[in-house]
């Protein structure tokens, strides 16, 4: 891949879950179980109903937490601590990815709908700790989740991101719509590309390390 489409990029924004580690690590499967358990206990409903609500809130609000906050007044901090208390042993250090990210010119940040402390633990397990200039969680966006425009606006202002000089890497196509509209380069990181392709996605890769390495080749 020619580096020209990214030659203007000064800020590289990476999602966390299923982006900086492969979906096969199945971390989010653990998180979903704990989210369902939280919803069931908080609302006093069955596991089946809690699982339905979890999925519905993710679809309609961007995250289960946002739906719980909007509809039930959930306190976000205990929720985030509980749902991210998982086993990280399925993650392995990735020296190739570390080298590829480290070689990028400019500022590198992580922006996740999870919490920043959780993100730091994932980065540590992946051997990626210390290579990013900043790590932002949903708490930094005032608990507004991606894909909401106000979430991106809050974090971009916090980090002084100039969208026209930035690129974003995400596994969830929804979360690339606003960055694209703002003028960012967008890269969908997933095992398979969208079919049909989406106009708000410039590139797709199923191997982030290789994609970044090719940019610098």
> 67 and 172: one domain?
no
Per the CB < 8 A criterion, the answer to whether 134 and 110 are in contact is yes
Predicted model pTM: 0.93
Residue 112 falls within a domain, yes or no? Answer: yes
DSSP conformation class of 111: E
Nearest to residue 92, comparing CAs of 123, 48, 126?
126
- Does a structural domain hold residue 88? no
Task: Identify the domain containing residue 50 by its residue range.
Answer: 27-83
Structural domain count of the chain: 2
Residue 180: CATH number of its domain: 3.40.50.1000
Q: CA-CA distance, 109 to 27, in Å (whole number)?
A: 21
Q: How many residues does the chain have?
A: 217
Domain match, 15 and 121 both:
yes
Contact 62, 150 (CB under 8 A): no
Same domain, 173 and 206: yes
User: Would you tell me how many other CB atoms lie within 10 Å of the CB of residue 95?
Assistant: 12
Same domain, 48 and 34: yes
178 and 212 belong to one structural domain: yes
Segment 91-129, tens digit of pLDDT? 999 999 999 999 999 999 999 999 999 999 999 999 999
pLDDT single digits (tens) 126-166: 999 999 999 999 999 999 999 999 999 999 999 999 999 99
Degrees, nearest 5: CA angle 177-158-97: 65
pLDDT of residue 217: 73
């Amino acid at each position: 891949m020619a580096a020209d489409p990214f030659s203007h990029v000064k800020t590289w924004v990476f999602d966390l879950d299923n982006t900086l580690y492969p979906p096969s690590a199945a971390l989010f499967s653990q998180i979903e179980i704990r989210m369902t358990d939280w919803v069931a206990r908080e609302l006093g409903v069955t596991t089946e109903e809690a699982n339905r609500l979890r999925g519905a809130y993710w679809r309609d609000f961007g995250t289960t937490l946002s739906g719980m906050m909007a509809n039930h007044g959930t306190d976000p901090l205990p929720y985030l601590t509980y749902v991210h208390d998982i086993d990280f042993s399925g993650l392995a250090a990735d020296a190739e990815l570390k080298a590829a990210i480290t070689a990028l010119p400019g500022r590198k940040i992580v922006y996740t709908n999870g919490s920043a402390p959780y993100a730091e633990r994932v980065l540590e397990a992946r051997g990626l700790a210390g290579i990013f200039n900043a790590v932002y969680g949903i708490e930094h966006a005032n608990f507004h989740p991606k894909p909401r425009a106000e979430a991106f606006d809050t974090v971009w202002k916090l980090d002084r991101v100039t969208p026209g000089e930035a690129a974003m890497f995400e596994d969830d196509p929804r979360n690339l719509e606003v960055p694209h509209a703002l003028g960012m380069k967008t890269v969908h990181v997933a095992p398979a590309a969208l079919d049909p392709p989406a106009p708000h996605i410039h590139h797709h890769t199923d191997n982030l390390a290789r994609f970044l390495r090719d940019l610098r080749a």
